[in-house]
């Protein structure tokens, strides 16, 4: 089991920046990758970014490429999602999720902080 707790959500003005944190516990050392997703009211869940727990290439959705950064702090079992130039339509609940092995999908999910972007 892996437990994920996100923090850092809140209110930001359009064009502003916000950093979300995902802290992993439990079998965090066995994690293959951490991904970030969001879901706005009435919409499906959208993939944003992912990083392997051990390092290596990162992956970003086209909609956030160049504006969002994902980084790891393995000593703290934490993954950060740094977001800048936020748009009003990016208001959503943001989730981090853990994949335990390649090709298996994301098995563990956090509860997600709300990010509100005011225009």
Instruction: List pLDDT tens digits, range 31-82.
Output: 899 999 999 999 999 999 999 988 888 999 999 999 999 999 888 999 999 9
Share of the chain above pLDDT 90, in %: 80
What average pLDDT does the chain have? 93
pLDDT at 57: 85
pLDDT at 54: 84
CB-based burial label for 59 (10 Å; 0-12, 13-18, 19+)? middle
| 79 vs 1, more confident | 79
Tell me the C-alpha distance between 25 and 39, whole Å: 24
pLDDT at 46: 97
Instruction: Compute the C-alpha angle 13/77/84, nearest 5°.
Output: 20
Tell me the C-alpha distance between 87 and 91, whole Å: 8
pLDDT at 29: 76
Count other Cβ atoms within 10 Å, centred on residue 78: 18
- What's 96's DSSP letter? E
pLDDT at 70: 97
- Provide the β-strand partners of residue 117: 12
Q: What is the mean pLDDT of residues 86-105?
A: 94
pLDDT at 11: 96
- What's 17's DSSP letter? -
| 91 vs 104, more confident | 91
E-only strand ranges, 8-63: 10-13, 18-26, 33-39, 46-52, 58-60
Q: What is the mean pLDDT of residues 76-95?
A: 96
């Amino acid at each position: 089991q892996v437990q994920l707790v996100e923090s850092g959500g809140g209110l930001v003005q359009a064009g502003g920046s916000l950093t979300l944190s995902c802290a992993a516990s439990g079998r965090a050392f066995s994690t293959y990758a951490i991904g970030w997703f969001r879901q706005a009211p009435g919409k499906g869940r959208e993939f944003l970014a992912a990083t392997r727990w051990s390092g290596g290439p990162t992956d970003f959705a086209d909609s956030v490429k160049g504006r969002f950064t994902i980084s790891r702090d393995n000593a703290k079992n934490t993954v950060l999602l740094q977001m800048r130039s936020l748009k009003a339509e990016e208001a959503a609940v943001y989730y981090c999720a853990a994949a335990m092995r390649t090709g298996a999908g994301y098995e563990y999910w956090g509860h997600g902080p709300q990010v509100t972007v005011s225009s």
